Amino acid sequence: MLTSEPGGRGGDVPGPDRAPMTAIPDRIERAVAMLDVQPHSRILEIGCGAGLAIACLCERAPSATIAAIDRSPAMIDRARANNREATIAGRVALQQGALAGARLPRAAFDIIFAINVNIFWRGGAREIEAVKALLAPKGSFWTFYEPPVAAKTRSIAKNVRSALARGGFAVERVVDDPESRKPFVAIAAKIG
């Protein structure tokens, strides 16, 4: 069972027989809403953490398939616990390891995204190369950040744009929203 952070969108009230709720941070709600998910989209999340975006996607697009990678074993365990049914059903495939060098199918994902994964605004040439190899020809790559201070959104957007351009991507959309309740940046790109 998932709910929004206090003041966020959506939400639910736990009954006595319900599983404990996990709060969905604003950045995850906003990111999932921006991805142009189609009924049968093949999706890859990089740095899935506790798997909350995966759970939101499972609710939003029950026929989509979702792969996710995180280098932290503890995070993969939490992602599995938060998506137990979908993992058992084979709709969600979790992989522990670093993106660069990961065993994932090439040109197989319509949407690849990462939320608050700093490798991309730090340059991440190997990781951007890996994304390029994994993305389907017309697929979209999204990066999202919720920096702790509003002053950071512009430099994050600039750094990600430069890194993507160096890696052969064409940036299609940038949302720089430092004024919202939580500062937020989104950058969408396709293989250029």
Ligand X SMILES: C[S@@+](CC[C@H](N)C(=O)[O-])C[C@H]1O[C@@H](n2cnc3c(N)ncnc32)[C@H](O)[C@@H]1O
Q: Which residues bind ligand X (CB under 6 A)?
A: 27, 46-49, 69-72, 75, 98-99, 115-117, 119, 127
Which of 11, 97 has the CB closer to ligand X? Answer: 97
CB 28 to ligand X: min, Å: 6
Which of 22, 116 has the CB closer to ligand X? Answer: 116
CB 57 to ligand X: min, Å: 12
Please tell me the distance from the alpha carbon of residue 89 to that of residue 84, in angstroms, as a whole number.
Answer: 9
CB 117 to ligand X: min, Å: 5
CB 95 to ligand X: min, Å: 9
Which of 40, 122 has the CB closer to ligand X? Answer: 122
Please tell me the distance from the alpha carbon of residue 121 to that of residue 155, in angstroms, as a whole number.
Answer: 9
Which of 77, 176 has the CB closer to ligand X? Answer: 77
Does residue 2 contact residue 52 with C-beta atoms inside 8 Å?
yes
Helices (H) and strands (E) in the chain, counts: 6, 9
Q: What are the E-state strand segments in the chain?
A: 2-4, 22-24, 42-46, 65-70, 92-96, 109-115, 135-145, 169-177, 184-191
Single-letter code of the amino acid located at 25: P
Which of 13, 66 has the CB closer to ligand X? Answer: 66
CB 172 to ligand X: min, Å: 21
Torsion angle, alpha carbons of 168, 137, 80, 187, to 10: 40
Does residue 32 contact residue 39 with C-beta atoms inside 8 Å?
no
Task: Give 130's Cβ-side CA count (13 Å radius).
Answer: 20
CB 86 to ligand X: min, Å: 17
